[in-house]
Amino acid sequence: MRVLYFSDNSSDHNRRFLQKISSHGHEAFFLDIAGSRPRFEMPAGVTQLRPALTISQPRDPRSVEAFLPELESLLQTLQPDVFHAGPVQTCGYLAALTQFHPRIVMSWGSDLLLHARASGAWERATRYALEGADGFVCDCKTVREAALRYANLENIAEFPWGIEPGRFSPTGEKMTYWGENPGIVTFLCTRSWEPLYDIDVLLEAFTDAYSQNPFLRLLLVGHGSMEVFIRQFIEQRNLTTAVQIHSEQDPNNMPKWFRSADIYVSCAKSDGTSISMLEAMATGLPVLVSDIPSNREWVNPSENGWLAEVGSVEAFAAGLLRAAGQSRDDIKAISARNQLLVIQRANWDKNVLQLMKLYETVSEDSRQACLKQ
């Protein structure tokens, strides 16, 4: 089967999908409308297409329409068996404008949970992208329910994007920064340094908690537009001995970072099933995350982590102190629960089979429709 995989970024999440598409015997073509240089080596069996026109960070869905002629020409040349496109209001919207079938729209979480409500233009693009789709892909119940508010979707593959078995575990090499002081409790955040993830809320909350417990430490591992703000905040609040930041670009190093921490924290305003949260759980870390519907699908307070009100410095500061105050036995129990949860629900090799089945379904439906004409 020939698959055109269309995205607006070259993240490691795309690499994982492309690798699975190819490894299941499909001929995969990767088109990134932003034309960004991938931070990964292209998987074997995947052809990367270089767009003549590139569009990055569109202001609104209409700003991507200039790419439509090139996309239509490409589809005419490739004639894929499946056209897989997402996020919803950029690549999914463009895919709908081509009227090509069969096409699958994939949500990236915040496109439906946040961007769809940004304006009338975003809402119209959301509806248009979904209404004519032959299939839909999402990573959690919360996103599925959001999509169904815009269109009556029949062929849906809902599965956590999951963890590659064996890659994240408590044992193995780790980074070490705070020495061997047994009283130190290290929190780790691996979310991008962007406003969506409320890094400013996390820093304010950590400052408050640190003033009450000087054994707390924070690792910020990632990159993004807020780097200057983060560095200035740390310097101005005299947190240089308590907060370390690392602009990590290599996904191969991520297991080491998770093993360097005691507890994972994320203040994201919006999320589907967070891969970084699952990576933390697979490593055996308790998690302190935003109290949003998608996180509640994974976190039961006091059983395997804690939830804190979105945007609340006070709630996250209290959560940091509460998590740091857990006994060794409690942490051990939470660690075991999280590792088991990931094994049961977030096996990437197993979960991606739903996508392969969806490809077969929409391709066969399309073939039957052509035979009836």
Query: Does the residue 315 lie in any domain?
Result: yes
3-state secondary structure of 307: strand
Using an 8 Å Cβ cutoff, are 36 and 57 in contact?
A: no
Query: Does the residue 166 lie in any domain?
Result: no
Query: Does the residue 124 lie in any domain?
Result: yes
Kindly state whether residues 133 and 205 are assigned to the same domain.
no
Kindly state whether residues 247 and 125 are assigned to the same domain.
no
Query: Does the residue 290 lie in any domain?
Result: yes
pLDDT value of residue 180? 65
Query: Does the residue 283 lie in any domain?
Result: yes
Q: For tokens 């994982």, name the residue.
A: 16
Query: Does the residue 164 lie in any domain?
Result: no
Tens digits of pLDDT across the chain (373 residues):
999 999 999 888 899 999 999 999 999 999 999 988 776 788 999 999 999 999 988 888 999 999 999 999 999 999 999 999 999 999 999 999 999 999 999 999 999 999 999 999 999 999 999 999 999 999 999 999 999 999 999 999 999 998 888 899 999 998 877 766 778 999 999 999 999 999 999 999 999 999 999 999 999 999 999 999 999 999 999 999 999 999 876 788 999 999 999 999 999 999 999 999 999 999 999 999 999 999 999 999 979 999 999 999 999 999 999 999 999 999 999 999 999 999 999 999 999 999 999 999 999 987 777 766 6
Kindly state whether residues 135 and 190 are assigned to the same domain.
no
At position 147, the amino acid (one-letter code) is A
Q: Please tell me the total count of domains within the chain.
A: 2
Cα angle value 44/45/50 (rounded, 5°): 100
Query: Does the residue 179 lie in any domain?
Result: no
Using an 8 Å Cβ cutoff, are 373 and 187 in contact?
A: no
At position 308, the amino acid (one-letter code) is A
3-state secondary structure of 119: coil
Element (H, E) at 32: strand 27-32
Kindly state whether residues 149 and 280 are assigned to the same domain.
no
Edge-to-edge strands, sheet with 2-7 = 46-49, 27-32, 2-7, 82-85, 103-106, 135-138, 156-158
Q: Which residues form the domain of 201?
A: 185-345
The Cβ of residue 202 has, within 10 Å, a number of other Cβ atoms equal to 25
Of 21, 26, 23, 51, the closest CA to residue 37 belongs to 51
pLDDT value of residue 353? 97
DSSP 3-state percent helix, strand, coil across the chain (nearest 5): 45, 15, 40
Which domain CATH number covers 206? 3.40.50.2000
Kindly state whether residues 211 and 110 are assigned to the same domain.
no
Using an 8 Å Cβ cutoff, are 278 and 258 in contact?
A: no
pLDDT value of residue 179? 66
Query: Does the residue 172 lie in any domain?
Result: no
pLDDT value of residue 181? 75
Preceding omega of 301 cis (within 30 degrees of 0): no
Element (H, E) at 84: strand 82-85
pLDDT value of residue 165? 85
Kindly state whether residues 196 and 129 are assigned to the same domain.
no
Kindly state whether residues 328 and 367 are assigned to the same domain.
no
Element (H, E) at 5: strand 2-7
Go through the chain and tell me how many residues it has. Answer: 373
pLDDT value of residue 373? 64
Kindly state whether residues 336 and 367 are assigned to the same domain.
no
Kindly state whether residues 310 and 356 are assigned to the same domain.
no
Cα-based torsion angle of the residue sequence 248, 253, 258, 261 in order, rounded to the nearest 10 degrees? -70
Q: Report d(CA 195, CA 331) in Å as an integer.
A: 30
Kindly state whether residues 276 and 360 are assigned to the same domain.
no
Kindly state whether residues 323 and 364 are assigned to the same domain.
no
| Distances, alpha carbon 223 to alpha carbons 121, 191, 193, 227, 230, in Å | 30, 8, 5, 7, 11
| Distances, alpha carbon 18 to alpha carbons 25, 84, 161, 217, 231, in Å | 11, 11, 13, 37, 35
The Cβ of residue 258 has, within 10 Å, a number of other Cβ atoms equal to 26
Kindly state whether residues 361 and 311 are assigned to the same domain.
no
Distance in angstroms between the alpha carbons of the first and the last residue of the chain: 22
pTM above 0.85, yes or no: yes
